[in-house]
Structure 1
Amino acid sequence: MQIAILLYDNFTALDAIGPFQTLSALPDSEVVFVAEEAGPVLDDTRTLSFVATKELRDVTRPDIVVVPGGPAPALDNEAVLGWLRSVDSATTWTTSVCTGSLILAAAGLLNGRRATSHWLALEQIKQFGVEPTGQRVVFDGKYVTAAGVSAGIDMGLTLLGKIAGDECAQARQLLIEYDPQPPYDAGSPQKAPASVVEMVRGQGAV
């Protein structure tokens, strides 16, 4: 089973590494980081890079595709959108994290489907004919979308459980000691203080 994690300039690192840490536990799987060109790809902090070991043209039939988000997702990159349309015809699961769902939507893959994204992007995804939902992980057929950033870990574990069974997913959760106990209860706009929500909205970037 080949799992292809898409990289593009200005992606969000945790969007990619969360699913990597969880889905890499699939038995007999190969995880590849893929980009337009092989080599280092800078994340949205401009200080961290992941290495793409494969180019888009080299990965033609992945079983699972993971599309991370970022503050400026590749919505008009026809090389990326065309690749997604092409490989989606053969994938078992096509997934995204955060604003990665906007990329899937821009490729026309989520038209008429339910999907989630970062809470700041839920209105934007409507423009692509997608029904937005604030759920943390959404399954619609073979399409799996996760909400903002950290939700990629939940998505990966949920998908791992569906493919390899609950025990495998639970073992992975235990191994990575994913036992969230955040110091603040401000992880969603419904829970965060109104002043904090407005501050984040004012920043204008996911």
Structure 2
Amino acid sequence: MTLSIGLLVFPGIQLLDLAGPYEVFAAVPGARLHLLWKDRAPVASAVGLPFAATVGFAEAPALDILCVPGGIGVNRLLDDAETLAFLRDTAARTPWLSSVCTGALLLGAAGLLRGRRATTHWNSHDFLAAFGAEPVDQRVVRDGNLFTAAGVTSGIDLALAVVDAVVGRAAAEEITLAFEYAPQPPHACGTLKEAPPSAVTAARARYAASRQERETIIAALAPA
């Protein structure tokens, strides 16, 4: 089975939002992966790792799956006409859509979440309603052909769920085993419900400036 899979990249992308799904999708036999951006000029992730898109928007091939990661760079794209138009046009001819973390906000800004169940990173979850989405507090949410995932590491779960739906359970199970994907973090505080108050306070402080900027941008957006 040959699949054409495109992952959006952009300056300030969360590296693991991209790398997790990329690794899973690349493990599908016959898959062809494309990193999509306006051009092929080098960009830097949120932690500074440089890389470049493999395909510009204008030359993007037909896709079977589109995946939109998140990251601090999402803020600059929420009102970026070129990127949002690309997402709308691509989604209209792509059978399967997905996002990781705050990539859901880009789908929302492109008008692709209206009336759809969706999730995103806990620190931006409350913004989903502004785009007409129904916020769901789950690690991965499927609504028809749309898959959205919560924060960062959930991109692996999302990609496995997409593989399960598109390719089949056997493929998803084989990749899960091959990756030895059986998380056992040293501290079970990966969600707001599990985390101690001190961790919640520290994490909110870490994201405060980015969240304030994001809130201002979303508030200024005209209703889609």
Q: Match for residue 67 of structure 2?
A: 66
Q: Kindly provide the amino acid, as one letter, of the partner of residue 53 in structure 1.
A: T
Q: What's 2:104 paired with? A: 101
Hey, what does 2:10 align to over in structure 1? 8
Cα separation, 1, equivalents of 2:87 and 2:115: 18
Q: 1:158 aligns with which of 157, 161, 169?
A: 161
Match of 1:39 among 38, 41, 44: 41
Matched position secondary structure for 2:148: strand
- Alignment counterpart, residue 178 of structure 1, candidates 164, 178, 181: 181
Partner-residue secondary structure (3-state), 2:36: strand
Residue aligning to 1:140: 143
Name the count of aligned residue pairs. Answer: 205
Per-residue CA distance 1:45-82 (angstroms, 9 max, x = gap):
1x202221110111142111110001241211111100
CA distance in 2, matches of 1:160, 1:50: 25
| CA drift at 1:142 | 0.9
- The one-letter amino acid of 2:70's match is G
Q: Does 1:25 align with 2:27?
A: yes
Report whether the alignment pairs 1:55 with 2:66.
no
Residue pair 2:10, 2:73 contacting (<8 A) in 1 also: no
Q: Which residue of 2 aligns with 1:111?
A: 114
TM-score, normalization by structure 1: 0.95
* Alpha carbons 1:68, 1:98 under 8 Å: kept: yes
CA contact (8 A) 1:39 1:53 kept: no
Structure 2 length as normaliser, TM-score?
Answer: 0.88
CA contact (8 A) 1:93 1:143 kept: yes
Q: Deviations over 1:13-37 (max 9, x none)?
A: 1001111111122232210111111
The residue number in structure 2 matching 1:88 is 91
The residue number in structure 1 matching 2:205 is 202
Aligned-pair Cα RMSD in Å: 1.2
Q: Name 2:133's counterpart in structure 1.
A: 130
Return the alpha-carbon distance in structure 2 between the equivalents of residues 25 and 162 of structure 1.
Answer: 15
Superposition misfits of 4+ residues, deviation over 3 angstroms: none
CA distance in 1, matches of 2:193, 2:15: 25
- Whole-Å separation in 1 of the counterparts to 2:111 and 2:79: 12
Amino acid at match of 1:51: A
Unaligned stretches of 5+ residues in structure 1: none
Q: CA separation in 2, counterparts of 1:71 and 1:194?
A: 24
- Please tell me the residue identity of whatever aligns with 1:159: V
Do 2:14 and 2:45's aligned partners in 1 also have CA atoms closer than 8 Å?
Answer: yes
Q: 1:60 to 1:79 in 2, by over 3 A?
A: farther
Structure 2 regions of 5+ residues with no counterpart? 212-224
Choose between structure 1 and 2: higher helix proportion: 2
Letter of the 2:49 partner, please give it.
L
2:118–2:133: 8 Å Cα contact kept in structure 1?
Answer: yes
